[in-house]
């Protein structure tokens, strides 16, 4: 869950690990250095970096296969008012590309875990018993999900939700029927 902390972990632990392992390695001997070989290796690495550095079009292609680019374009052209429920992996992309639309969750799971949102997210996405209660509690009006995740399959067959956009990566559902208010719920008789 905390892979992103590797960027902090590696620079701090590497010098410590080098100090520990240095006691088992022979001392440095300058006469063993191979300056020409080292220069060739550095040049080869530099050439490889330049040669294989991704182009903007290749980055956009990979992003289009991973993130909801089409759905975000659709939402820019056809905004939907109300809270959004989104797939965990889409949250960071949405924050950066649709900043006016608050996300339900993004890649900072530890922050959401403390607030209880992460547990609610798992309840909904894994279709546990209170899945729709999570959507109802937060008055979710649109769901931006991975195309084949279980919640997307269920919403596709639920008449209360309307599919507004879909591609091979993501699908967007909009609530077709307003959530019942608490007052209406209390006033209506329960059926047995």
Helix pair 56-66, 69-77: axis angle to 10 deg: 80
Per-residue pLDDT tens digits for 50-104 = 999 999 999 889 888 999 999 999 999 999 999 999 999 999 999 999 988 899 9
Domains of the chain, by residue range, sit at 33-66, 67-178
pTM above 0.75, yes or no: no
Number of helical H runs and strand E runs in the chain:
10, 4
Strand ranges, E, within the chain = 84-86, 142-146, 161-166, 170-175
- Retrieve residue 142's tokens: 């649109």
Confidence check: pLDDT of 185 > 60: no
């Amino acid at each position: 869950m905390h892979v992103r902390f590797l960027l902090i972990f590696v620079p701090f632990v590497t010098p410590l690990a080098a100090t520990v392992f240095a006691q088992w390695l022979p001392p440095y001997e300058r006469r063993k250095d191979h300056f020409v070989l080292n220069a060739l290796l550095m040049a080869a690495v530099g050439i490889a970096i330049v040669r294989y550095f991704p182009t903007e079009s290749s980055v956009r292609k990979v992003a289009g296969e991973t993130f909801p680019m089409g759905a975000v374009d659709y939402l820019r052209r056809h905004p939907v008012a109300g809270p959004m429920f989104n797939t965990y992996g889409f949250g960071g992309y949405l924050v950066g590309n649709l900043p006016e639309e608050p996300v339900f969750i993004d890649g900072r799971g530890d922050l959401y875990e403390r607030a209880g949102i992460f547990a609610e997210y798992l309840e909904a996405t894994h279709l546990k018993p209170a899945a729709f209660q999570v959507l109802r509690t937060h008055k979710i009006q649109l769901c931006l999900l991975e195309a084949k995740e279980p919640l997307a399959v269920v919403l596709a067959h639920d008449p209360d939700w309307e599919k507004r956009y879909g591609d091979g990566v993501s699908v967007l559902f909009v609530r077709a029927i307003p959530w019942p208010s608490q007052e209406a719920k209390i006033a209506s008789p329960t059926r047995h």
